[in-house]
Homo-oligomer: A and B are copies of this chain.
Amino acid sequence: MPHKKLEKVFRDPVHNYISVSNQVIYDLIGTSEFQRLRRIKQLGTSSYTFHGAEHSRFAHCLGVYHIAKQITDMFTKNYPEIWNSEENLVTQCAALLHDVGHGAFSHTFEGIFDTDHEAITVSIITSPETEVNAVLRKVAPDFPEKVASVITHQYANQQVVQLISSQIDADRMDYLLRDSYYTGATYGEFDLTRIMRVITPVENGIAFKIQGMHAVEDYIVSRFQMYMQVYFHPASRAMEVLLHQLLKRAKVLYPTQKAYFDTTSPRLVPFFEKHFTLSDYLHLDDGVMTTYFQNWQTHADPILSDLSKAFVNRKLSKSIKYDHEDEQDLAILRDIVEKIGFDKTYYTAIHSNFDLPYDLYRPEIKSPRTQIEIMQKDGTLTELSELSSLVKSLTGTTHGDSRFYFPREILNPDTLFKAEQEAFTSYIKNDHFLGKKGIESK
């Protein structure tokens, strides 16, 4: 009577229980490349704004796998005529591994060191030296390539591709729910259960039955709200700006101080040298990076040490919104910052965040999106925004803002620079740079 089938259960606060009963999946989770995701925060610098959001990419990847598993199991049971159950494993593996190439503070890191987490994901999956590849190879010699091709969208079966990567996919569904849960920002919640009931494979992709249209609509709106409220939060972007300046400064200093960086931050050296292996990349994580920043706090260069301290101790710069057409005029503010004594190259910055909440399929553009299709009772498909005025209002237009960052001290009372400070604030109204209008009114 005692069962001996493999079943490993992960307690997950978002999905309650995540169950793994396939040895391949279980082995993938055990690889060093996947375990490394425990050491990389899902939200990067956002955890400095939303202190509760300290969850890792490990948790997120498990969640994506879980959603993909639920859907492929349901497809297998309910749609044998149109869904090929041999796709289940490749779908679940791709779901689990879709982010395995993510690194510490990916976005900023990539900007500075010209890495590409998607290419690295593919590399981890397909390079014979990784544990992930070894596990996948045991399924079939070409299995690693198949999994990788799902992630690069080249996989022939578009049903599989869309489950992993489209405007409503397992990845997005997990991160919205998870980031919502961990930040405490309830905007990200939507009815996952309902969506998983109405999702249905169609000839060349996936669709959603009309009975669940409102759940899909709510998902689009929730996603939009999470972008506006959480992902684009000005304070998180201040940390990102800081990180960017810090790494930029280190990169500038490196050529003349190789020994210093070799001692205090050895694993970054290959990146300073623009010459890194996959193994170098996999040695980095949030802890390693932050250890290095802590080391740099005592560096003789006042900019490097100051920025390191600011990052380690979360000393954020302030920011104001500006309109794109006024970007040039920010030079006025930059000059005042410099006058007050800050190097404007490292102590001011602009940061733009824009998202396109939903778009139609536009074959003419470079990477066209797969639009969301709703299946009517008679089987015909209708594009989502035709049925939802809420979604229509979000379709095809980007949302977000551009912000100018400057030292917090500029706004503190100070007798020495009182005139400069007043000049500075005279260009601002309700946290917004007045731009040309403000300048002309002088």
Contacts and interface: CB of A to CB of B under 8 A. Distances in A.
Interface of A: 1-3, 9-14, 16-17, 30-32, 35, 38-39, 47-48, 50-52, 54-56, 58-59, 62, 78, 82, 181-187, 189, 191, 193-194, 197, 202, 210, 214, 217-218, 221, 224-225, 228-229, 263, 283, 285-288, 290-291, 294, 309, 312-315, 375-380, 389-390, 392-394, 397, 399, 429-431
> Which are the 10 A-B pairs with shortest beta-carbon distances?
A287-B287, A393-B393, A13-B184, A13-B52, A291-B291, A32-B313, A1-B379, A376-B430, A11-B184, A288-B291
B58 A55 contact: no
A30 B315 CA distance: 8
A291 to B, nearest CB: 5
Contacts of A78: 3
A411 to B, nearest CB: 13
A202 to B, nearest CB: 8
Contacts of A394: 389-390, 393
B184 A16 contact: yes
Nearest to A292: B291
9 contacts: A31-B313, A32-B313, A38-B54, A210-B430, A214-B225, A285-B290, A286-B287, A288-B291, A393-B394
A27 to B, nearest CB: 13
Contact of A186 (B181, B189, B286): B189
A81 to B, nearest CB: 8
Give the number of times this chain occurs in the complex, counting copies. Answer: 4
A291 B267 CA distance: 10
A16 B2 CA distance: 32
Given A9-B197, A13-B182, A214-B225, 11 more contacts: A2-B375, A10-B51, A11-B183, A14-B52, A31-B313, A52-B55, A187-B214, A214-B228, A214-B229, A287-B290, A390-B390
Contacts of A31: 313
Contacts of A224: 390
Contacts of A52: 11-14, 55, 59
A189 B11 CA distance: 16
B390 A392 contact: no
A228 to B, nearest CB: 6
Contacts of A16: 184, 193
A190 to B, nearest CB: 8
Contact of A294 (B2, B48, B283): B283
A232 to B, nearest CB: 11
A192 B294 CA distance: 38
A429 B10 contact: no
Nearest to A48: B38
A35 B314 contact: yes
A56 B59 contact: no
A377 B290 contact: no
A54 B56 contact: yes
Contacts of A378: 2, 429-430
